[in-house]
A and B are shown apart, each in its own frame.
Chain A
Amino acid sequence: MSYTFLQNYWWVLIALLGGLLVALMFVQGANLHLGNRKLNDTQKRMILNATGRKWELTFTTLVTFGGAFFASFPLFYSTSFGGAYWVWVLLLITFVFQAVSYEFQNKKENLLGVKAFRIALMVNGLLAPFLVGTAVGTFFTGSDFTVDKLAIADPSSPVISTWGNGWHGLEALLQYHAVLLGVTLMILAAILGSLFIIQNVDDERCSFWAHGSVKTLSVPFLAFFLCWAVILLLRPGYAVSDAGVVSLEKFKYLHNLLQMPVVLVMLLAGVVLVLLGIWKGGFSQSRKGFWFAAPGTVLVVMSVFFLAGFNGTAYYPSCTDFQSSLTIRNSSSSYFTLKVMSWVSLLIPFVVAYIAYAWHAMDRKKITSDEIEGPGDKY
């Protein structure tokens, strides 16, 4: 196994984890229905318990995504997390509230009341996909940072990666192209969430509203996604030469798409699956839309990561100092680390298998109102 192969392999795994993370954000999206006044408390709790059996998977995928990024591309971890500080802290806080809200919301000792924790879940439902989307959006717009490895020998300012402004990531909110991706992801999460409710919750009213929301959200989703995609294909990108020199190239991402036909096929297949899912959920009575849209999402997100990093592209560009931009080559771990972790990664299919088995075992019976009103364990 060559070093280059291992670096590429880990970029594929990061892309896969990123794809799974976005697809699993159906949890966030579904929780937005907790604000629907047309649903009674039992129905809201049915939704809460449907996502409540899955939220830890999303959460764990986020943690593993972070851990894997740290392990395979540590310069991204040190540059982006330490630099775009407020974006990541904000994301963390919404997830931290999510982690306790399921357990706390329905307990009378929770100090803040049922509503507060459900609102926390909804805030997480909006902000988590939005922030992740905007952060990934900066993979294409670039950020304001410099990397100087020699700084560590300078006692007066030893930090290698420094952010160029005091906003520490919040300035991405002014990058309309990054924000477009954030909004797209937010709407996509909501659609996936509704499709999950249709698939998982046995209640006519919940399904009615979920079907309706898929239908309503389909138009803005397509509009935002197409806008983002068209701008992406038209914008200049950060190309890396074989010698590692970064420069702007016109239509870089369009070139990437055309020069990597596999990615083009993945992207198109993903988009078709997502659209099929939306069709089944919004415009037919099928309950199976989720099983089209979720894998479709994984494919689309993976192809976005491939466009950002492969074919001689800097995946985390610095618009302040092009040569500080992070590439798969200059930001990765050493050969031995990637190799050891690649061996460990062979266990991933086993992990996926037991998750699938447990998922299947737990979902054979859909969530019903009897279960919520009965004596068993629930949130």
Chain B
Amino acid sequence: MDVVIWSRIQFAMTAAYHWLFVPLTLGLAFVMAVMETIYVVKKDDFWKKTAKFWMKLFAVNFAVGIATGIILEFEFGTNWSNYSWFVGDMFGAPLAIEGILAFFMEATFFAVMFFGWEKVSKKFHLASTWLTGIGATISAYWILVANGWMQNPVGTTFNPETVRSEMASATAFWEVISNPVAVSKFFHSVTSGWLTGGIFVVGVSSWYLLRGRQKRFAKSSIIVGGLVGLLGCACVMLSGDSSGVHAAEFQPMKLAAAEGLEDGGRGAAFTIVPGIRVPKMLSFLATHDFNGYVPGINDILRGYTDNDGNVIPSVAEKMQRGRTALDALAAYRSTEDPAAKAAARAVLDANVQYMGYGHLEKPEDVVPPVGIVFWAFRFMVGLGMLLGLVLLLSLFFAWKDRLANMRWLMWAAVICIPLVYICGQCGWIVAEVGRQPWTIQGLLPVNVAISSLSAGAVRTTFFVFLAVFALFLAIEIRIMLGAIRKGPDVEPENA
């Protein structure tokens, strides 16, 4: 395997590991903050101890999230050198802002939250707990601005003098940070974190109830966690809907792959699983119109006319024009003659929007691995609905104080803990595998985004990171299980 594949595997692995820890951070932060707020308002020590228990688990998880996060940031440079130059002008800014605005907030107030119980006032402590979660959420916003831009690169133009995409104007940055793809991704990802936090809290609490332990703690946690999780679940569904519309608009190939849609058309049917289809549903989900046109994989390869009447050229033509653009770039940069420069510039400008396609070898390169994306999408949606249902039922019966008789439901909640992680991973597989081969949609394919390294070097670091992450994950799970087994310090056991 070549360096492109190893770089992709390494980045995918780092990102997937990172996303094992981030959603719980986002969700638990919210749950803990609500619990501590109840403590400060009601002045009942029970809530302080309850919040502290979840904080203990939060802290273990937080550390590994940080460890995997720093590698992701640096991998943009170490493994995607061309990418870093080609889009660094736009892409670096959100990362820098994330550091300045979000990470310092998280880091500073995490220390106060964790160690400050006896050192600062109650209110300062409560503020610190909220600020830790708010910092994490702001950081998610900025990194998803960066990611959203990779999916829908707005606000930049190609500059042949510097050979990169550059911020087009002072106002372009507003386009970047209000990019609809980024905004819906932010809501989708953060609220999926709330769902994860909710499921985690409800699942762990259900386990206590199954063992007949910590009844008050478990019931209270199920109510707070269940509410946070359900709120997250509802927002995930809403933002998922707009994600679908955005995919149709900006990344039709991703949508076609997620649907396994070879040939599209008007009034396209939605495939629930192969063989079971809902007529016209895909058109409605993608365009909010039952007769909207949705292109399939072959339509995109051959070229088509979209819903606004725009003629989209075939991939072969885009590749041809992309190569023309690359040749014009080479001509532009290798001459000093003003007339020749101007002529090359004119050709470049006329074709630059397809320059990324000039790097492809054959039209089929624009098709992502359909099977993976198709099934990941179905697992994500199916599991998401199941998780919502379990949360709803757990919350309802906990509220009615009838959960104790429903052992199956409590077991279901426990089983949902691994499922919510699978669900989240599937979501990112749809988002990231679905946009292959592009690091930046339409601008830069993976094979030109790399660093000049040997495959062996990247393979070595891949296995080192894999071993390190596997070790960390094993330890984290052991520590968490140990802490859960020991239980919170709220009431004498068997109470």
Binding site for B on A (CB under 8 A): 49, 52-54, 56-57, 59-60, 62-64, 66-68, 70-72, 74-75, 77-83, 85-86, 88-89, 92-93, 95-97, 99-100, 102-104, 107-112, 149-150, 152-153, 155, 157-163, 166, 168, 333-334, 336-337, 339-341, 344-345, 347-348, 351, 354-355, 358, 361-362, 364-365, 376-378
Contacts and interface: CB of A to CB of B under 8 A. Distances in A.
Q: Which of A49, A54, A92, A355 has the most CB of B within 10 A?
A: A92
Contact of B111 (A72, A99, A341, A362): A362
Contacts of B334: 150
A197 B122 CA distance: 28
A70 B450 contact: no
A228 B238 CA distance: 60
Contacts of A66: 73-74, 77, 95, 99
A81 B85 contact: no
B66 A99 contact: yes
A163 B450 CA distance: 13
A339 B172 CA distance: 12
Interface of A is mostly: helix
A64 B86 contact: no
B342 interface: no
Given A107-B479, A377-B115, 13 more contacts: A59-B107, A77-B88, A78-B451, A88-B78, A95-B67, A103-B63, A109-B482, A158-B359, A158-B447, A159-B81, A161-B81, A355-B104, A361-B120
A107 B483 CA distance: 10
6 contacts: A67-B96, A96-B67, A111-B474, A111-B478, A161-B85, A361-B124
Interface stretch (B160-168, B255-263, B396-404): B160-168
A100 B63 contact: yes
A85 B78 contact: yes
Q: Which of A72, A89, A95, A362 has the most CB of B within 10 A?
A: A89
B118 A63 contact: no
Contacts of A112: 475
B305 interface: no
Contacts of A158: 82, 359, 447-448
B167 A99 contact: no
Contacts of A157: 452
Given A345-B100, A351-B104, A362 B115 contact: yes
Contacts of A75: 85, 88
B74 A85 contact: no
Nearest to B81: A82
Interface stretch (B209-217, B285-293, B453-461): B453-461
B119 interface: yes
B20 interface: no
B226 to A, nearest CB: 27
B81 A152 contact: no
B250 interface: no
Contacts of B63: 99-100, 102-104
A168 B77 CA distance: 13
A271 B374 CA distance: 62
Contacts of B464: 89, 93
Nearest to A10: B96
A354 B333 CA distance: 49
B451 A82 contact: yes
Interface in B109-135: 109-112, 114-120, 124, 128
Interface string B214-254: 00000000000000000000000000000000000000000
A24 to B, nearest CB: 11
A337 B163 contact: no
A71 B85 contact: no
Nearest to A89: B461
A348 B451 CA distance: 33
B100 A344 contact: yes
B88 A333 contact: yes
Contacts of B124: 361
Contacts of A97: 67, 468
Contacts of A71: 88, 92-93, 95-97
A354 B106 CA distance: 12
For the complex of A and B, 4 pairs with smallest distance between CB atoms = A74-B88, A81-B77, A82-B81, A64-B99
B96 A89 contact: no
Given A77-B76, A150-B333, A160-B85, A362 B169 contact: no
Contacts of B64: 99-100
A326 B421 CA distance: 44
B70 A62 contact: yes
Interface of B is mostly: helix
B451 A337 contact: no
Contact of B108 (A57, A96, A341): A57
Given A59-B107, A153-B329, A358-B109, A377 B114 contact: yes
A82 B84 contact: yes
Q: Which of B114, B448, B452 has the most CB of A within 10 A?
A: B452
A378 B115 contact: yes
Contacts of B452: 82-83, 157, 159, 161-163
A1 to B, nearest CB: 11
A358 B129 CA distance: 13
Q: Which of A62, A79, A80, A149 has the most CB of B within 10 A?
A: A149
A103 B110 CA distance: 13
B108 A337 contact: no
A78 B173 contact: no
A52 B172 CA distance: 41
Contacts of A162: 452
Nearest to B481: A109
A100 B63 CA distance: 5
A111 B109 CA distance: 29
Given A82-B453, A158-B359, A361-B119, A333 B92 contact: yes
Contacts of A378: 115
Given A83-B81, A358-B108, A63 B73 contact: yes
B93 A361 contact: no
Contacts of A108: 482
Q: Which of B88, B168, B359, B479 has the most CB of A within 10 A?
A: B88
B172 A70 contact: no
B339 interface: no
B112 A358 contact: yes
Contacts of A377: 52, 56, 114-115, 117
B74 A81 contact: yes
A157 B447 CA distance: 10
B92 A348 contact: no
Contact of A85 (B110, B114, B170, B457): B457
Contacts of B409: none
A152 B85 CA distance: 11
A104 B162 CA distance: 46
A70 B107 contact: no
B59 interface: yes
Given A74-B85, A103-B59, A361-B112, A82 B167 contact: no
A337 B457 CA distance: 33
A89 B93 contact: no
B326 A153 contact: yes
B103 interface: yes
A80 B167 contact: no
B90 A376 contact: no
A344 B56 CA distance: 34
B79 interface: yes
B472 interface: yes
A77 B91 CA distance: 12
Given A71-B88, A150-B334, A336-B168, A111 B475 contact: yes
Contacts of B106: 56, 60
